[in-house]
Amino acid sequence: MSLGAHYKEIKKFLELFGTSLVAVTKQQSEEKVDEILALGHRLFGENKVQEAKQRWRDSDRLQKCPDIRLHLIGGLQTNKVKEAVALFDVIETLDSEKLVAALAKEIQKQKKNIECFIQVNTGRELQKNGVMPDVLESLLHSAIQEHGLRVTGLMCIPPVDEDPVPHFILLRNLAKQHGLQHLSMGMSGDYKQAAEQGATFVRVGTALFGERI
Ligand SMILES: *Cc1c(COP(=O)(O)O)cnc(C)c1O
């Protein structure tokens, strides 16, 4: 099936639930990126700041299509905060006090209107990014009340070897409890379940573009 056919099929499914598609372009070919742009898609996810900068800013794609919106979906180091704030519209991976402080300072400096989601480690996995569910409340307080960040949602990546649905439900309940509008959950293998559970954004790479290069 062609990229166009995959795209239409995924979009058609997501439309039933009002879920937006974040097309994950990391490690995809230039041709495929241009093809999906030609189809009119404008919402993209990248996991690395440097790679995103090359693909979107240095390539002139952002200049040609100023309505492109970029989500950062990978972990952010504080030494990359300046570049990330300059490039992204949504940072989905807020997960520490240190990052909250660094982001707040840089967003003020650049006078940018950036939305943040907090990444929650719903599976309580040791090596994974994201805050543990019981620490969410204090990080939210710090981010919103103390630093004035616009936190509008939550994001999660369920453990690979588990049924993702209980994780999606946990994330949805946490967002509801804290009055947060957005839920970024679901990838190529589970975006349908995520949409059914109320995802406002799914992040899909390989199911759309094929294997990464
Ligand atoms: C790479 C990545 C995705 C997309 O993964 P696919 O399985 O290719 O859909 C989604 N979310 C995050 C955080 C990623 O790093």
Give the model confidence (pLDDT) of 10-30 as tens digits. Answer: 999 999 999 999 999 999 999
Report pLDDT for 196: 98
Report pLDDT for 9: 98
For the chain, give every domain's residue range: 3-208
Closest atom, ligand 1, to C-alpha of 187: 9
Report pLDDT for 213: 87
**Mean per-residue pLDDT, 26-52:** 98
Confidence of residue 149 (pLDDT cuts 50, 70, 90): very high
CA 146 to chain centre: 24
One CATH from 3.20.20.10, 2.60.40.2470, 3.55.10.10, 3.30.70.3400 for 3-208: 3.20.20.10
pTM check: above 0.95: yes
Provide the token pair at 139: 């990080």
Write the single-letter amino acid at 100: V
Report pLDDT for 1: 84
Exposed/middle/buried for residue 5 (C-beta within 10 Å: 0-12, 13-18, 19+): exposed
End-to-end CA distance of the chain: 18
CA–CA gap between residue 124 and residue 30 (Å, rounded): 36
Q: Is 188 in the pocket of ligand 1 (CB under 6 A)?
A: yes
Report pLDDT for 40: 98
Closest atom, ligand 1, to C-alpha of 47: 15
